[in-house]
Amino acid sequence: MKAISTREDIYQTVNAFRQSRALLTAVELDVFSAVHAGARSSEEVAARCGSDPRATDRLMNVLVGMGLMEKEDGVFCNSAVAATHLVRGATDYLGNLAHVSHLWDYWTDLTPAVRGGTKPMQDSTADRGEEWLESFIAAMHHRGVPQAPADINLIDFHDAAHVLDIGGGSGVYAMAMLRVKQDLRATVFDLPEVVPLTRRYIAEAGMEERMDTRAGDYNSDDIGSGYDLVFLSAIIHSNSPAENRGLLAKCAAALNPGGQVVVQDFIMDEDRVRPEHGALFALNMLVATTAGDTYTATEVESWMHDAGLRDVIVRDAPSGATQVVGKYIANG
């Protein structure tokens, strides 16, 4: 986050939403793909996107000012950065922006969330619809592809034969683990509405023989047993402290002796001010979940200790998250 130190900084910050909203709307309408496909005037783009011609022209003029498009004699073209990252199907397409757009509605309710202590929109993942779910899993996969290999490189898989990836979504982290150790198997546990998407990603990666799925709610359903490692990436921030305590106890009980639980998340300093992105993400959890938050290492360590996990270590991951690792020692 940029520190605010002047009157001008205040004005710039409170008005920054305008450019953000313009870009997100262009992404939702797929304006950049329309231009890439041959639409050159705002009228042609509007016809492709199903939008109003005048309003589309005004939006595209703003995109020109933002450096995302160029315009000459009423003809538009994408800038280099837009062509690389904002055209659907491009190698470096930022497909996760659709999820950011969905978060807009939640952040609009930040004021009532702060007043009431929880999100006003009490919906579940299933309630948000297929489009929201597809974009969310795609966003997590898109972010995980470059991050997962370096993050999992910190984990010791020497004695591991079977890994459980809790809330694993597309399975992107489990896939990275299997690429590191050829005799490793992985199970991805996620909600019933997510698992069909998981299977699709597994098939696309050609890993059906080494990966399987298990459907359920990790807070209330059986997660299985006989695992050598249970991995929870970006999971605990969606839960309340009580839910995390119960979940880590369940994970510990699912381990073979000597197995480990690896929690990877935004872990806060004790004052909860830093890391700054974690403090901001705590607000994201306030508006998007019933009782989620970002937590300190002390909190996570206490849940692990209550679950019977020992030799707890805390280490920074290359992605900017933090890993907290606890080992299950039989009769320990």
> What are the residue numbers of the active site?
237
HSE toward the beta carbon, residue 221, CA cutoff 13 A: 12
Tally of CB atoms within 10 A around 112: 14
Which residues in 129-240 belong to E strands, given as ranges?
Answer: 162-166, 185-190, 211-215, 227-233
How far is it between the farthest Cα atoms of the chain?
Answer: 77
Distances (CA, A) of 124 to 121, 175, 328: 9, 27, 33
H or E element, residue 251: helix 241-253
φ, ψ for residue 95, nearest 5 deg = -65, -20
H or E element, residue 327: strand 322-328
Q: Which residues contact 188 (CB under 8 A, 6 or more apart)?
A: 165, 168, 169, 171, 174, 195, 198, 202, 211, 212, 213, 214
H or E element, residue 132: helix 129-152
C-alpha angle 287-291-293 in degrees, rounded to nearest 5: 75
Measured distance CA(109)–CA(111) in Å, rounded: 6
Q: What would the two tokens of residue 18 be?
A: 């305008």
User: Locate tokens 């313009």: which residue?
Assistant: 22
Q: What would the two tokens of residue 136 be?
A: 């969310």
